[in-house]
């Protein structure tokens, strides 16, 4: 059977709800991790100019030198220690960066530790490498908040090959403190475990800081650390497909060969758009303010709704709400999409620790959120 020859990973439950939304264009869609805020004008112009100039051919599989240099300057200005261009690989998305990071260090049978609720693609990428996944649930504080229990983490790190950290976290909005980041790095050093950090929401924080605490603030260039990021979230450029991976000193060109074998190179016109986005510092602050308004609006719209608990996220652009009356979040999400025309991501899509929750993307205009939250309230009241 052909199906027996093909590596199988779990079906995306977010995709299940997304397909329902696609089938019914009148559904208000808060299920996906993207905004209706337009990408930077200068990024769009740079892409069009590049295509017009026929900048459409293969480029260095490691990424254009000019973009690698721009990313290095951007990260060096944002974090405590400078990041050299010789540690940067340009990728065809943050997910591609995670996949290449896993491909570089994982072999069949290796064990990867991932905290959940988790973005499901992280575990899927590890499983596609033939690795085994050990999941540890984030602790819940009883009021809708989450935290990573470092004692739990230490208990599962021995003999693991890698730990994948996602902070700010999708879907919960949990964000590790600088002290927690330092403790996690120390644990991974002691157990000689690779630390792969997904930091795609690093600039979308609500505590007044320019960025979330990062491994790039404390890790040495020779640590077993790789940091993935992209333009998708910070610059609302999900469809441009440009990300990057920061790798240990001396490993860039070796890991770069995996990029060549994975997706050859990133479209040059998208790379030019990414360069323009990185230079647009005003966009980042404007988009963060836009998300903060959506965060406040979404929270206000849930006020007084019986049986719903949540904690305002410290980072990212999701509200992860617990709905006490339900046992099957996927069935609830289907019901909401079909009967109430509102798409929300089911908590079970993010692992068993997410069951009983819904994820709502609040990085939307007030007009979008007004319709969506009215429908969500009606749908939740019908199951209360």
CATH number of 152's domain:
3.40.640.10
Residue 36 pLDDT greater than 90, yes or no: yes
Q: What is the pLDDT of the chain when averaged over all its residues?
A: 95
pLDDT digits (tens, 9 = 90+) for 283-318: 999 999 999 999 999 999 999 999 999 999 999 999
Residues 34 and 52 in one domain: no
Residues 232 and 257 in one domain: yes
Give the Cβ contact number of residue 124 at 10 Å: 17
Residue that finishes a domain, picked among 264, 279, 294: 279
Residues 10 and 116 in one domain: no
Residues 258 and 274 in one domain: yes
pTM: 0.95
Residues 48 and 9 in one domain: no
Residues 188 and 234 in one domain: yes
Residue 365's CATH number: 3.90.1150.10
- State mean pLDDT over 117-143: 92
Residue that finishes a domain, picked among 246, 279, 312: 279
The CA distance from 94 to 233, in Å, is 10
Residues 50 and 157 in one domain: yes
pLDDT digits (tens, 9 = 90+) for 80-120: 999 999 999 999 999 999 999 999 999 999 999 999 999 99
pLDDT digits (tens, 9 = 90+) for 221-235: 999 999 999 999 999
Residues 267 and 137 in one domain: yes
What sections of the chain are H helices per DSSP?
Answer: 2-5, 13-23, 41-52, 65-78, 94-105, 120-128, 150-156, 178-190, 252-263, 268-279, 281-301, 329-339, 366-383
Q: 56: alpha, beta or left, given left = phi > 0 and alpha = psi -120 to 50?
A: alpha
- With bands split at pLDDT 50, 70 and 90, how would you rate the model's confidence at 25? confident
Residues 336 and 257 in one domain: no
Contacts of residue 140, Cβ cutoff 8 Å, sequence gap at least 6:
146
The range of the structural domain enclosing residue 376 comes to 2-39+282-383
Residue 205 pLDDT greater than 70, yes or no: yes
- With bands split at pLDDT 50, 70 and 90, how would you rate the model's confidence at 383? confident
Residues 153 and 83 in one domain: yes
The CA distance from 277 to 271, in Å, is 10
Residue 384 pLDDT greater than 90, yes or no: no
Residues 90 and 147 in one domain: yes
| Count of domains for the chain | 2
Residues 111 and 184 in one domain: yes
Residue that finishes a domain, picked among 245, 279, 313: 279
The CA distance from 31 to 20, in Å, is 11
- With bands split at pLDDT 50, 70 and 90, how would you rate the model's confidence at 1? low
């Amino acid at each position: 059977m052909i199906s027996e020859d093909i590596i199988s990973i779990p079906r995306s439950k977010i995709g299940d709800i997304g397909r329902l939304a696609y089938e019914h264009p009148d559904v208000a869609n808060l299920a996906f991790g993207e905004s209706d805020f337009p990408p930077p004008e200068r990024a769009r112009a740079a892409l069009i100019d590049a295509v017009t100039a026929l900048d459409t051919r293969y480029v260095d599989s490691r990424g254009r030198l000019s973009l690698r240099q721009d990313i290095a300057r951007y990260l060096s200005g944002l974090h405590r220690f400078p990041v050299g261009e010789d540690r940067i690989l340009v990728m065809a998305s943050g997910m591609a960066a995670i996949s290449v990071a896993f491909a570089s260090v994982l072999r069949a049978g290796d064990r990867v530790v991932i905290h959940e609720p988790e973005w499901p693609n992280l575990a899927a990428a590890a499983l596609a490498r033939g690795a085994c996944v050990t999941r540890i649930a984030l602790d819940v504080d009883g009021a809708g908040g989450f935290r990573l229990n470092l004692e739990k983490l230490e208990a599962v790190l021995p003999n693991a090959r890698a730990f994948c950290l996602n902070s700010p976290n999708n879907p919960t909005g949990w964000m590790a403190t600088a002290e927690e980041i330092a403790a996690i790095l120390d644990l991974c050093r002691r157990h000689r475990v690779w630390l792969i950090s997904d930091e795609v929401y690093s600039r979308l924080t609500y505590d007044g800081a320019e960025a979330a605490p990062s491994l790039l603030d404390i890790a040495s260039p020779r640590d077993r650390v790789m940091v993935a990021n992209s333009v998708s979230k910070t610059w609302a450029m999900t469809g441009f497909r440009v990300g990057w991976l920061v790798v240990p000193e001396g490993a860039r060109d070796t890991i770069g060969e995996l990029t060549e074998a994975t997706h050859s190179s990133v479209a040059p016109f998208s790379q030019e758009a990414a360069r323009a986005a990185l230079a647009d510092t005003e966009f980042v602050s404007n988009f963060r303010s836009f998300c903060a308004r959506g965060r406040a609006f979404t929270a206000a719209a849930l006020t007084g709704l019986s049986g719903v608990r949540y904690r305002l996220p410290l980072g990212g652009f999701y509200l992860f709400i617990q709905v006490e009356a339900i046992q099957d979040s996927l069935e609830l999400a289907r019901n909401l999409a079909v009967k109430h025309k509102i798409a929300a991501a089911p908590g079970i899509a993010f692992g068993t620790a997410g069951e009983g929750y819904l994820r709502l993307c609040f990085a939307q205009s007030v007009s979008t959120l007004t319709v969506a939250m009215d429908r969500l309230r009606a749908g939740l009241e019908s199951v209360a």
